[in-house]
Structure 1
């Protein structure tokens, strides 16, 4: 068995270029994917190098070598794929494609030496190769998710930093444009940031523009009007623009008195009124 395993090892190494090319030829045109068939020659060579390093490591497993270096490879490649936003399923799909190509080469080797290879040999090789591929995919997934989670956390931190930008448009008037879903502001110390910024800018009037808000629930409507009350306690008058019918309805259902609030349909109208 040992002798045939060594021969298989050498056979696979001799066919690395062939396996890599077959894998590269199997690519399809996929928009915004590193794996697309119409990728630049530089990207194609980059993929070839990564694939061939992976292949050499898998081949070594047949002769009892450790998969430790494969962990380093999986971490490096997964980090690159995650940072460029490549979907995880794309990479897993290509792992599966290459696994079939690799096993097909073992099959070719068997047909070259049918009388010298036992079923025991085939079962062992199949077991070692599949375990190596499965472990690589598992490691790749773990590292990919680690990088993806870190990026997501960084983005959330950035959103938190930028989610309440009070813009000063005069010595006494500022604008707070809210964009997206109000729920996005729930965990970003929304009220505290608005109050601090309004106070730091010495505003006497703050325009809260809701025209960019896509949805708002009862809890956040209540929280928003609590912020307006706190601004009032600081002597800062609030003007609301772009208010949607559902927000008005929710406010009424909550028993919020909107009669004391100045409201305008458009931000431009409020600015024109307050500045002129």
Structure 2
């Protein structure tokens, strides 16, 4: 018989009671927390997850460390990726793990008192160490998974913002406008290049105005990406016209030795459109 098999049986018999006690004492008001949900389906799943955790946790007293650790990790990875938990602030999740841990500590203390004749001081120390360590493992996995998910969401939001900040707007017929606003670093310049080519192809653009009036400064790398964009557009049959180049950018371009001599340039977007319309009418 494993060293703590009696404790395993003791806790397994009380697993549902522990889970119900935890659920009955939930007190949450934050609507972003899964623990404040009033959705019956969400609450049912929450109860199932907690009870499943209890049964997996109890295995730390009946199985080898490699076996029960793998089982706990499997439960933690699955629960951490649950959409309701992903929407819940991590400090609420840690708080609930601590509440469950405290319930377990109370039951384990009761067990050691009931079996004080067979559970030595060394046994009790080993039991509590194993229990706390197991909670630490699960909490660590939750924090790590939440961190990963947060980074994924931030990257997705960053890409969306970048994409929305460089839209190709159809003005009329096959004529489009790419208004660039704000700071443009190398990463954003690369994204602009990819998105613009894709959007021009998708929207069948043959004439594109690239307006820089909202851009305060560009460096050599960004300028090179801009030249690459214009060349790539030309290969797609899209004529590009730059407009709204601010004095600061023009001065920087000269200092960096950048040449705009082969590009179609107008002082403003209004002038660019008016000039092209005049040429078409003529």
> Quick check: TM above 0.5?
yes
User: Counterparts in 2 of 1:8-47, with a 5 A limit?
Assistant: 8-24=7-23, 25-35=25-35, 37-47=36-46
Quote the residue 1:208 is aligned against. Answer: 211
Aligned length: 264
Report the 3-state secondary structure (helix = DSSP H, G, I; strand = E; otherwise coil) of the residue aligned with 2:82.
helix
2:2–2:63 Cα contact (<8 Å) kept? no
The answer to whether structure 1 residue 100 and structure 2 residue 99 are counterparts is no
Indicate the larger mover: 255-264 or 132-141.
255-264
Quote the residue 1:253 is aligned against. Answer: 252
Distance change in 2, residues 1:195/1:74 (3 Å): closer
Quote the residue 1:63 is aligned against. Answer: 62
Report the 3-state secondary structure (helix = DSSP H, G, I; strand = E; otherwise coil) of the residue aligned with 1:169.
strand
After TM superposition, give the deviation of residue 98 of structure 1 in Å.
2.0
Distance change in 2, residues 1:217/1:78 (3 Å): farther
Cα separation, 2, equivalents of 1:236 and 1:194: 13
Distance change in 2, residues 1:235/1:186 (3 Å): closer
Cα separation, 1, equivalents of 2:80 and 2:164: 29
Deviation sequence 1:55-105 (CA, Å, 0-9, x none): 111112112252233232222212224884444454334323322221122
Distance change in 2, residues 1:90/1:271 (3 Å): farther
Quote the residue 1:117 is aligned against. Answer: 119
Distance change in 2, residues 1:117/1:273 (3 Å): farther
2:32–2:87 Cα contact (<8 Å) kept? no
Match of 1:194 among 193, 196, 219: 196
Cα separation, 2, equivalents of 1:224 and 1:248: 20
Deviation sequence 1:179-214 (CA, Å, 0-9, x none): 7763452443x3365357657835234243776x8x
Deviation sequence 1:159-179 (CA, Å, 0-9, x none): 888875534332341022457
Deviation sequence 1:2-40 (CA, Å, 0-9, x none): 68x3332233223323322343324422232223x3442
Distance change in 2, residues 1:120/1:218 (3 Å): same
TM-score norm. by structure 1 comes to 0.69
After TM superposition, give the deviation of residue 41 of structure 1 in Å.
3.1
User: Counterparts in 2 of 1:178-189, with a 5 A limit?
Assistant: 178=180, 182-183=184-185, 185-188=188-191
The answer to whether structure 1 residue 169 and structure 2 residue 171 are counterparts is yes
Cα separation, 2, equivalents of 1:178 and 1:42: 46
Q: CA RMSD in A?
A: 4.5
Distance change in 2, residues 1:127/1:275 (3 Å): farther
After TM superposition, give the deviation of residue 128 of structure 1 in Å.
1.9
TM-score norm. by structure 2 comes to 0.68
Report the 3-state secondary structure (helix = DSSP H, G, I; strand = E; otherwise coil) of the residue aligned with 2:178.
strand
Question: Which runs of no fewer than 5 residues in structure 2 stay unpaired?
Answer: none
Distance change in 2, residues 1:72/1:226 (3 Å): same
Cα separation, 2, equivalents of 1:87 and 1:194: 37
After TM superposition, give the deviation of residue 155 of structure 1 in Å.
6.8
